[in-house]
Chain A
Amino acid sequence: MSWLSLPQITFLALSAMALVSGVLVITRRNAIHSVICLIVTLFSVAGIFLLTHAEFLFAVQIILYVGGIMVLFLFVIMLVNLDVAAKQAQFSSHWLVAVLTAGALTAELAYGIYLGRQEFKPSTPPAFILPINNTRGIAVGLFQTYTLPLEIASLLLLVAMVGAVVMAKRKFE
């Protein structure tokens, strides 16, 4: 086997980081630690986006998920009483069922991947200089090619947001 190239090493490091911290998210007792591991996961995925020349996705992933949503997660977790939550026994009385289900799912996925192994080939990397930059490409895609689906999706989100505000407000009255 020849030496790995720099992008390959970066990719392997980033995916290892994403996977390890992804596992840590569900094994940490402390909710704050879980959130931090989740942040590391999201960060590594952002790095993988950057590696595939999707720099706009990289920036948006960090601005929205890491810089916005995760801050709100932390905010909410800090407001609930953590000491009680940390001392409570972990809810894992059904671990046998869980292991069986997880095992079955893994086997199923592994079999599926084994069957389709001819199709799972690493794609050829895009040319180093793309004819159109990533940001522009996404803008054209979202606002010209797929304007209607985008508007419908944003309307749905708006409805959800208004609904959340209404429900929150009823509680205060």
Chain B
Amino acid sequence: MNMLNTVTQFLLAHPLIFATIKILIVFNVMSAVLMYIVYMERKVLAFMQARLGPMRVGPWGVLQALADPIKLMLKEDIVPAGADKALFLLAPVISVAAAFTVFSAIPFTSSFIISDINIGILFILAVSSLGIYGIILGGWASNSHYPLLGALRSAAQLVSYEVAGGMAIVGVLLISNSLSLRDIVLKQQQMGVWNVFIQPVGFFIYLVAAIAETNRSPFDLPEAESELTAGFHTEYSGFRFSLFFMAEYTAMILVSCIAVTLFWGGWLRPFSSIHALDFLDYTPVIVFLAAAVAIVLGARKNPVPMEKVVLFAIAAAFVLLGMALAIPVVAAAISGIFWFSAKVFIFLYAFIWYRGTFPRYRYDQLMNLGWRVMIPLGLANVIVTAALSYYLTHQAVSAAAPVMMGR
């Protein structure tokens, strides 16, 4: 007991240790998630196009996600002869560092947040706007035509859509009265309704801007294969290419996290204010049990005996995990992070879905959409929201005033 006290006091005296542990957790979990998002993307796209996708490495190609990074790391790292070497080497690092740094302000649950900054959302906007330097400098330093064109397109696209995205966020800030992401979620809890229902237009603008800022299809013009080979990272190979790849997918997770926090109630359970729907608390249990059943059903047909055994073991582990989640204490502890990740995965799935279904925009269409539709719409949204929230608070005050005067 005494020793426990000493340890607690030591940790309290050195708050950086807690932060470092949290950073390590977030970084490692995100890296693992990243690998499997690539797998998920390949699989989902394949199913949408009536293919099977990766099938060779492991059962259903599950280990492909591990094989690809290893392959990329072992590949030769080529620096083009005419490249600006220092910048060429620096560019992918900037992209990845900027993308990962932003997670330090994301509230994964009400208590798991690396740093609850009082200007959280501004910090996120600031740091995520640095990622573009990776793209621009990488494109320029390659000293090659397609990368330069890709970098220029990217610069124009990001600067344009950052404005629209910022406008969409202002609407939420007007409602929440705070720049801290944790407070924004708590405000949604307090109101009992997610911001997406109050700010549907803002949410739509943010979604479009987020897709454009992450260079995802249908706005993937900076790396349009049919026009620019691979855009800004054409000259990159091996590990440096994989850094750009990581940065793109991290940015995807990131905008999903921000969208969930700002508009979809962060870590809150759906309908958390309605007690008749409290059985939703058992969703994690059901999800794990269903996954176990799915694995067992699929594994029965697996021809490789070794894989079969491993799959049955995983299914058993999932059943145990599901049962553990049924314990109220564990369920309460896991609820926040479960709902947060579930919502984030809905967004990630949507990103892949858009890629599978929408044709790529033409460059002038993209710019027209950004400047002539999204930004005016965003401005209108801000003005209407500001006027309404002013009117409503004013009305509340004037309605309350006679009561206070004792009428």
Contacts and interface: CB of A to CB of B under 8 A. Distances in A.
Interface of A: 30, 32, 36, 39, 55-56, 58-60, 62-63, 66-68, 71-72, 74-75, 78-79, 133-135
A79 B152 contact: yes
Contact of B133 (A39, A58, A78, A133): A39
Q: Is the interface of B mostly helix, strand, loop or mixed?
A: helix
Given A62-B129, A78-B148, A79-B152, A71 B122 contact: no
Given A36-B137, A39-B133, A74-B155, A67 B118 contact: no
B78 interface: no
Interface of B: 84, 87, 117-119, 122-123, 125-127, 129-130, 132-133, 136-137, 140, 148, 151-152, 155-156, 158-159, 162, 179
Nearest to A39: B133
Contacts of B179: 135
Contacts of B137: 32, 36, 74
A59 B129 CA distance: 11
Contacts of B148: 78
Contacts of A58: 119, 126
Contacts of A32: 84, 87, 137, 140
B122 A75 contact: no
A78 B152 contact: yes
Contact of B129 (A55, A56, A66, A78): A66
A36 B159 CA distance: 18
A60 B179 CA distance: 13
Given A55-B117, A74-B136, A75-B152, A68 B122 contact: no
Contact of B136 (A30, A62, A71): A71
Contacts of B119: 55-56, 58-59, 134-135
Nearest to B151: A78
Nearest to B140: A78
Contacts of A63: 122, 125-126, 129
17 contacts: A32-B137, A32-B140, A36-B87, A55-B118, A56-B119, A58-B119, A59-B123, A63-B125, A63-B129, A67-B132, A71-B132, A71-B155, A72-B159, A74-B133, A78-B152, A79-B152, A135-B119
A133 B118 contact: yes
B125 A68 contact: no
A102 B86 CA distance: 32
A74 B136 CA distance: 8
Contacts of B151: 78
A60 B122 contact: yes
A59 B122 contact: yes
Given A63-B125, A63-B126, A68-B129, A135 B118 contact: yes
Contacts of B162: 67-68
Q: A-B pairs with the 8 shortest C-beta distances?
A: A67-B129, A59-B122, A62-B126, A75-B155, A63-B126, A55-B119, A59-B126, A59-B119
A56 B68 CA distance: 42
Contacts of B125: 59, 63, 67
A79 B157 CA distance: 16
Nearest to B149: A78
A81 to B, nearest CB: 12
A66 B122 contact: no
A74 B156 CA distance: 11
Given A59-B122, A66-B126, A78-B152, 4 more contacts: A56-B119, A66-B129, A66-B130, A67-B129
A171 B129 CA distance: 32
